[in-house]
Structure 1
Amino acid sequence: MEFIWIGFAFICGLLTKLISLPPSIGYLAAGFILNALGYQADSMVTALADIGITLMLFTIGLKLNIKDLVKPEIWFGSVSHSILWLVIGMLILKTIAFISVGFINELSLITSALIIFALSFSSTVCVVKLLEERGEMRTRHGKLAIGILVMQDIIAVVFLVLATGKVPSPWVALLLLFIPLRPYINKGIDKAGHGELIPLMGFFIAFGAYELFELMKVKGDFGALLAGMYFATHSKASEITKSLLSFKDLFLIGFFLSIGFTALPTMEMLAIASVLTLMLPVKFLLFFFILVKLKLRGRTAFLSALALSNFSEFGLIVAALSSKSGWLSPEWLVILSLAVSMSFIITNVLYNFAHDYFANNKERFKRFESKQPLAEDNFEQPCEAPIAIIGMGRVGMGAYYALNAQIGNQVWGLDADKDKVQWLNDKGIQAYLGDAEDADFWESIDLSRIELTLLALPSVQDIINITAQIKRTNYRGKIAAIARYDDERIALESFGVDKVFNFYTEVGVGFAEESMSLIKPVQVLEAS
């Protein structure tokens, strides 16, 4: 059985990748195909799904700053959207019921509210995968979307407690004892080095927190999320996240397969699920207008709203719980699983065109912006140095130091991560905050003084998007970028990047050149 679903998952994932769709859509399709062929999810698929979700929430926590959650655009945006969605969703559902659509016209008021509530959540799995694949987790809109998802997770935990009557243990307050223990735990992490102990430690912390919270009768996944936030400020947080990335992606295959294994739909169920997905534009519009009213810029509101315009796997948990309690018929579990699957596909397809669509229609969205944007959304005019490095990761910082040593103070860096920019500034590095994929950023600075732009980014798609944005502003300078593989290099050169460096080759060349400097003085001395 394991070989069959692994093979199906691989084939379907490969096919969707070949048509420029995320492999996760293929995994969803594989689940439904296997279900239609008579296969059912075994304990391994369920276990993989649970592990994947726990690891995903833990890694989200590692990237979160608790201060971000108390921002009005996060907590008020999330709560107000949930309330408005419930009201408007109920009206839509009752309107559909008025025209006697099967399954819906039989719903009571409480049952209708449960369904709309289940559909109010956005998918953590879908949104995180979407942002990770495009390298947008640390952008302004990426952090905003993740913050709202965390707030929704908190609402979900509260619902589960109330709906199941599962009251947390009176000993739950003992978990606070871990707060003063953090310095000692941090020392343990420091001693782990950089090898195989790093991912193992990540597993230990994530599942240790899961089991502790379950012991205290609180949702274990919520404990994994809090554990990640607890260690988010540690110097090895990023290293732990990267070490768990492949494990997380592998285990999440089980989650996508498990949705398809839920049940076989009838044509009527498929039609109802399709009707529910027609509510996605309402979800998008609510998010967009709430966020712009909270003084966010149009692009940030647009991208965040589009990423969040899907239904959540939590809807299936609500449906299963409601069905078990007799509040909802079992057929609705199938309908909601179909709606969730459809929403994943729609979001992934539409988001592929999000940046280009906004760039071509930005005036339509910008007219809804507040005249006084939030302070952190005001661009700081970069210095007049002629060389700009986009992406201040390890490669970007290496390029900055090398160029600064050769030509002096003629280089500046740009990064979308506010915390990283502050850290770079503290170290005396000339770095600025900004999203290079944002056309507004390039239009707000004087490009006539920039002679060379280095795109030190890991994602080829990000490099292509930024190159397109720069070219739209009639930039006259040169563009250089990095690529890991030859096919990526060819794609970037054909798109118009002036010089593409093969990452692995250039590391070898640089290593050789620097090493040769060790023996050159000796050779000169011998020659004389």
Structure 2
Amino acid sequence: MIEPILVGLAFVAGLAFRRAGMPPLLGYLSAGFLAGGLQIGDAEVIHTLSEVGIILLLFTIGLKLNIRELLAPQIWATASLHTAIVVPLTAGMLLGLVWLMPSVEAIDTSVAWMLAFALSFSSTVFAVKIFDERGEGAALHAKIAIGILVVQDIFAVTYLVFSAEQAPSPWAFALLALPLLRPLLVFLLKQAGHGELLILFGIAVALGSAELFEMVHLEGGLGALLFGVLLSNISKSVELYKGLINFKDIFLTAFFLSIGYAGLPSGEMLLVALAIGGLILLRPLIYFALLVMFRLRARTSLLVGLSLFNYSEFGLIVAAMAVKGGQLPAAWLTTLAVAMALSLFIAVPFNTHVHSLYARLATRLQKMERSELLLQERPVDLGDAEILIFGMGRIGSGAYDYLSQHYPNKIIGVEESADKALKLRLAGRLCVPGDASDRDFLERADLHRRKTVLVSLTNHSENVDVVKLLQQLDYKGKIAVVSRFPDQQEELTRMGCITFNLYAEAGHGFAERVMEELV
């Protein structure tokens, strides 16, 4: 059982960091180190809950994953080249520690390369958390980052299969027939309805698939990812994804707490952790250079690189295996845990302020772009539209349909997901792919020609950021923004926006619809 004091400690620490303008996960990390030092809570229970969180995370990634996207060079080639560059650099540093710190016990060359390989990966948990908090899950840079992480997960699973003490069971070959289960899984998903059965179905499939893979001596997370893919690309999978988000986030809190339970290293090994943590500063630079080489814009390259600006939990898994096999002193496990935590503390401020950082560096970074960009990175034409709608979900699409009756041919939708934008165009709506939080996009949008901008994005913080960006660009037209709670509505009103509270005014809209039918 989890100690109530641990839950309270995580809440207080998370709240403190959020009030300071930082993501709560830094508070969870701090609470984990404090709880581990004071021996609050059961470390095994926390570890088990964190594993559930990772399984649900991989399952939800699978629900939104498009396998074809992984075949793009900017994903698989970037992941491969990054590994080829980073692994020798990290191995060289690990082997050179004995010269820099003679009191630190030298490690074998084979172990150094093994740890370097493990440290070349980035944390999927961190990247997804950051994108969810910023409401950028459908953006191009998020899809590229997640794709790179999935490729890294494939590398990791391959390594674990070949390095495991127990070889995969012969029954593992039967998993090649998994696609045959898709019709049954889709049928059950549709039969689950919209309530707790839907959530229960998702959790059961995620945990069951992980257990199935572990039964045949494969990584459970891979099973959750693949079963998520089997259920992807149908309308019901979107509802399942949204239903599982909060459960996933709660369990992932245990993941950040669990890092601190590894304990703190000695003074000497703490210096080693600082050296390993400092090496992380090279990572976004390498990603940026590779992605620009593959004809991505500077902004996309920067956002991807910074989202992968950390170490992965996989490093701890490999270290634990090496300690168990007697290849590595136990002190290295806590050292790597601290290095991972340090990498997260370094990465969070950069990701929190990434848009303002890009605004300051845009002119310099854009000079590094290739002359010919990828098709999806080229500017789009908004034509003569007088009304822009940012976010073409149910609310944005409904607004588009209503306003089109009064202002025909004067409205255009802007949707973060290129696939969704294409579907909307095929359905007869004028919609282009674009990121409302992209300063470059707005600067090229000829805002002086647009009379009204409607903002209906996935979360309040993203809506506020877009409003601030429009005001920074001296937009003079009307800005209308969707809100869900009174405090959000008040904030937007103070910013000079027209606001519509979905919950408060839903009844009014319902009554209007009924009156239309009665007249």
Taking structure 2 as the reference length, the TM-score comes to 0.96
Q: Distance in 2 between the 1:325 and 1:178 partners?
A: 34
Q: Does 1:66 align with 2:73?
A: no
**What one-letter code is carried by the residue in structure 2 that aligns with 1:414?**
V
Partner of 2:170: 170
Q: Does 1:516 align with 2:505?
A: no
Flag the 1:102–1:120 CA change in 2: closer, same or farther, 3 A.
farther
CA contact (8 A) 2:95 2:106 kept: no
What is the deviation of 1:171? 2.4
What is the deviation of 1:492? 2.6
Q: Distance in 2 between the 1:316 and 1:92 partners?
A: 18
CA contact (8 A) 1:139 1:417 kept: yes
CA contact (8 A) 2:264 2:335 kept: no
Report the secondary structure of 1:305's partner residue. Answer: helix
Q: Distance in 1 between the 2:275 and 2:238 partners?
A: 41
Report the secondary structure of 2:245's partner residue. Answer: helix
What is the deviation of 1:40? 5.4
CA RMSD in angstroms comes to 1.7
Structure 1 range deviating more: 66-75 or 266-275: 266-275
CA contact (8 A) 1:467 1:497 kept: no
CA contact (8 A) 2:390 2:415 kept: yes
What is the deviation of 1:205? 1.6
Q: Distance in 2 between the 1:92 and 1:371 partners?
A: 36
CA contact (8 A) 2:6 2:40 kept: no
Q: Distance in 2 between the 1:276 and 1:164 partners?
A: 26
Partner of 2:463: 463
Q: Distance in 2 between the 1:328 and 1:51 partners?
A: 28
Partner of 1:21: 22
Q: Distance in 2 between the 1:502 and 1:62 partners?
A: 30
Alignment of 1:72-83 (within 5 A): 72-83=73-84
**What one-letter code is carried by the residue in structure 1 that aligns with 2:413?**
G
CA contact (8 A) 2:185 2:231 kept: no
Q: Distance in 1 between the 2:425 and 2:496 partners?
A: 29
Q: Distance in 2 between the 1:76 and 1:458 partners?
A: 31
Q: Distance in 1 between the 2:496 and 2:172 partners?
A: 56
Report the secondary structure of 1:279's partner residue. Answer: helix
Partner of 2:152: 152
Q: Distance in 2 between the 1:108 and 1:189 partners?
A: 50
Alignment of 1:119-130 (within 5 A): 119-130=119-130
Moved over 4 A (4+): none
Report the secondary structure of 1:179's partner residue. Answer: helix
Q: Distance in 2 between the 1:451 and 1:369 partners?
A: 32
What is the deviation of 1:512? 2.5
What is the deviation of 1:368? 1.3
Partner of 2:415: 415
Q: Distance in 1 between the 2:475 and 2:102 partners?
A: 56
Report the secondary structure of 2:327's partner residue. Answer: coil
Partner of 1:214: 214
The percentage of aligned residue pairs carrying the same residue is 39
Q: Distance in 2 between the 1:249 and 1:337 partners?
A: 21
Q: Does 1:296 align with 2:306?
A: no
Q: Distance in 1 between the 2:412 and 2:100 partners?
A: 62
What is the deviation of 1:102? 4.1
Q: Distance in 2 between the 1:187 and 1:405 partners?
A: 38
Partner of 2:322: 322
Taking structure 1 as the reference length, the TM-score comes to 0.94
Partner of 2:501: 502
Q: Distance in 1 between the 2:166 and 2:469 partners?
A: 52
CA contact (8 A) 1:460 1:492 kept: no
Q: Distance in 1 between the 2:144 and 2:395 partners?
A: 26
Report the secondary structure of 1:480's partner residue. Answer: strand
Q: Distance in 2 between the 1:183 and 1:90 partners?
A: 46
Report the secondary structure of 2:326's partner residue. Answer: coil
Q: Distance in 2 between the 1:383 and 1:505 partners?
A: 35
Partner of 1:382: 382
Q: Distance in 2 between the 1:402 and 1:395 partners?
A: 11
CA contact (8 A) 2:95 2:107 kept: no
What's the CA shift string for 1:72-122, capped at 9, x where partnerless? 01111001101100122233344544323543x622322222222221110
Partner of 1:401: 401
Partner of 1:135: 135
Q: Number of aligned residue pairs: give it.
A: 518
CA contact (8 A) 2:6 2:41 kept: no
Report the secondary structure of 2:263's partner residue. Answer: coil
Q: Distance in 2 between the 1:36 and 1:52 partners?
A: 23
What's the CA shift string for 1:466-486, capped at 9, x where partnerless? 223323433222111111122
Alignment of 1:210-289 (within 5 A): 210-289=210-289
CA contact (8 A) 2:17 2:26 kept: yes
Partner of 1:368: 368
Flag the 1:240–1:37 CA change in 2: closer, same or farther, 3 A.
same
**What one-letter code is carried by the residue in structure 2 that aligns with 1:515?**
V
Q: Distance in 2 between the 1:389 and 1:379 partners?
A: 17
Q: Does 1:434 align with 2:434?
A: yes
Partner of 1:347: 347
Q: Distance in 2 between the 1:446 and 1:284 partners?
A: 32
**What one-letter code is carried by the residue in structure 2 that aligns with 1:23?**
P
Report the secondary structure of 1:362's partner residue. Answer: helix
Structure 1 gap segments, 5+ residues each: 522-528
Q: Distance in 2 between the 1:497 and 1:276 partners?
A: 47
Q: Distance in 2 between the 1:102 and 1:406 partners?
A: 77
Report the secondary structure of 1:268's partner residue. Answer: helix
**What one-letter code is carried by the residue in structure 2 that aligns with 1:238?**
V
Partner of 1:487: 487
CA contact (8 A) 2:14 2:24 kept: yes
What is the deviation of 1:39? 3.2
CA contact (8 A) 1:122 1:309 kept: yes
What is the deviation of 1:429? 1.2
CA contact (8 A) 1:115 1:319 kept: yes
Q: Distance in 1 between the 2:181 and 2:329 partners?
A: 47
What's the CA shift string for 1:428-475, capped at 9, x where partnerless? 111110111111112223223211000011322212322233234332
Partner of 1:524: none
